[in-house]
Structure 1
Amino acid sequence: MFTGIVTAIGTVVSAEAKGPNLKRFAIACPWDAAGIEIGASIACAGICLTVTELRRRDDGAPGCVFQVEAAAETLARTRVSDWREGTRINMERSLKVGDELGGHLVTGHVDGVATIEAIDAIPADPDQPWGATARFHIRAPHALSRFIAPKGSICLDGTSLTVNTVEGDVFTVLLIPHSFSVTTWGDRQVGDPVHLEVDLMARYAARLAEARGQG
């Protein structure tokens, strides 16, 4: 389990196909290897992936390089196949008992891929010196839009965000300067795909309502 609070940005240093349904990635990160165990779960751009190997960084920078593998289900539901050397990804270590739950409960099981339809820059308030915020208009896959509600939580590329508005399959979220500084959202452009995980409670509530409807 995760919270959707990004704690580091990783960089893909190698991507290797190991067959038609398996890809292996090496990702450089600023975390100390001593704090990561083989078999640990790390959310990479919102995808829960298992660490299979660890090594020191080749560039001498602090941190380590960890290896993960993406199999058929992950390749089918995400854009992980597009990762190349240099791709930057949001990362979060798995939640520990007693950790602060700053975002919302996130499983790391991506439901689908959404698309950025528009980005509206919001001018900064002269009394607030930290810069402009931006509103992102996101189109969700039609089958997932029923799980998205105004003021509800959504996880996009591993980032816990609050839904502002919903119109059909399109919803909006607001990104603040801090979010841009600690995530990859500053790299995003109109037309870009983003991994989407709907709120866990919304998914189960919808399933219960469906079950009641079926008697």
Structure 2
Amino acid sequence: MFTGIIETQGIITNLVKENENLHITVKSDFTNELKIDQSVAHNGVCLTVVAINNDEYTVTAIKETLQKTTLKSFKLGDSINLERGMKLGDRLDGHIVQGHVDETGVCERIEDQNGSTLFTFSYISKNKNITIEKGSITVNGVSLTVVNSKKSSFSVAIIPYTLENTSFCKMEVGDFVNLEFDVIGKYVTRLNSLK
């Protein structure tokens, strides 16, 4: 379980394909605090730490994860958003994030709003995912508030701090992103479809 509040950015230092799996090695400033079997969200994708070496750690993404996320497009030197699992008793500053990506989306527009930056994303929902105005959405692991909710698209307004301290600072129109829709909204949508 995560909150969508990014702790730091990591750098991809090694990618090793083994059968259908991809072993991803990340350099991070919190590696010395990690342990084997710990969960870390990588651009919103929950992966298990399988090896630690100095300031680098390795996680493994299986075929299912690679097919449904943007991890398959990782390149050496890429900067990614990182968040460790939440501790019981901590404040929930973002929203409840599972680290299970529902689908990918595309950045359609980036607009300077004179104090914030508006990012617009589109998605093709195979699972009837929805957003609601002022509801929560996770984009590449970042907990954000939806503005301008439409069918198969939405916008988010990013404050300067978030822009500078997440991978949003390098995002361009046309980039693919990982989307995790609000878990409560997913359950409500599913229950309504069973009626």
Normalized against structure 2, the TM-score is what? 0.97
The correspondence for 1:142, drawn from 99, 107, 125, is 125
45, 49, 52: which is aligned to 2:50? 52
Call closer, same or farther: CA 1:18–1:146 in 2, change over 3 Å: closer
SS where residue 173 of structure 1 aligns?
strand
**Equivalent residue number for residue 94 of structure 2:** 103
Distance 1:146 1:108, change over 3 A: closer
Query: What displacement does 1:208 show?
Result: 1.2
2:110 is equivalent to residue 112 of structure 1: no
C-alpha separation between the residues in 2 aligned to 1:149 and 1:140? Answer: 14
Q: In the alignment, is residue 38 of structure 1 matched against residue 29 of structure 2?
A: no
The whole-number CA distance in structure 2 between the counterparts of 1:143 and 1:164 is: 22
Structure-2 residue corresponding to 1:187: 170
- Structure 2 equivalent of residue 65 of structure 1: 56
d(CA) in 1 for partners of 2:160, 2:109: 18
1:144 shift after superposition:
5.1
Which secondary structure does the structure 2 equivalent of 1:142 belong to?
A: coil
Work out the CA distance in 1 between the residues paired with 2:129 and 2:89: 32
CA contact (8 A) 2:31 2:57 kept: no
Counterpart CA distance in 2 for 1:77 and 1:97 is 29
- Alpha-carbon distance in structure 2 between the residues aligned to 1:80 and 1:115: 14
Alpha-carbon contact 1:145-1:168 (below 8 Å) kept: no
TM norm structure 1: 0.88
Equivalenced residues, count: 195
Structure 1, unpaired ranges of 5+ = 57-63, 124-131
- Is 1:2–1:94's contact at 8 Å kept on the other side of the alignment? yes
Give 1 or 2 for the bigger CA radius of gyration.
Answer: 1
Q: Which SS does the other structure have where 2:94 is aligned? A: coil
Matched, 1:200 2:183: yes
Question: Tell me, what secondary structure is at the counterpart of 1:196?
Answer: strand
Unaligned runs of 5+ in 2: none
Equivalence for 2:142: 159
Whether the aligned pair in 1 keeps the contact of 2:41 and 2:141 (CA below 8 Å) is yes
CA distance in 1 between partners of 2:113 and 2:190 (Å): 37
Counterpart pick for 2:154 among 171, 175, 198: 171
Letter in 1 for 2:25: A
User: How far, CA to CA, are the matches of 1:32 and 1:147 in structure 2?
Assistant: 35
Aligned equivalents of 2:130, 2:73: Cα separation in 1: 27
Q: What is the Cα deviation at residue 32 of structure 1?
A: 4.6
Letter in 1 for 2:13: V
Letter in 2 for 1:91: L
What aligned pairs does 1:12-23 form with structure 2 within 5 A after superposition?
Answer: 12-19=12-19, 21-23=20-22
Deviation of the 1:183 alpha carbon = 0.5
> Whole-Å Cα distance in 1 between the matches of residues 188 and 151 of structure 2?
19
Once the 2 structures are TM-superposed, how far is the Cα of residue 210 of structure 1 from its aligned partner? 1.5
How far apart are the structure 2 equivalents of 1:166 and 1:144?
17
The root-mean-square deviation of aligned C-alpha atoms, in Å, is 1.1
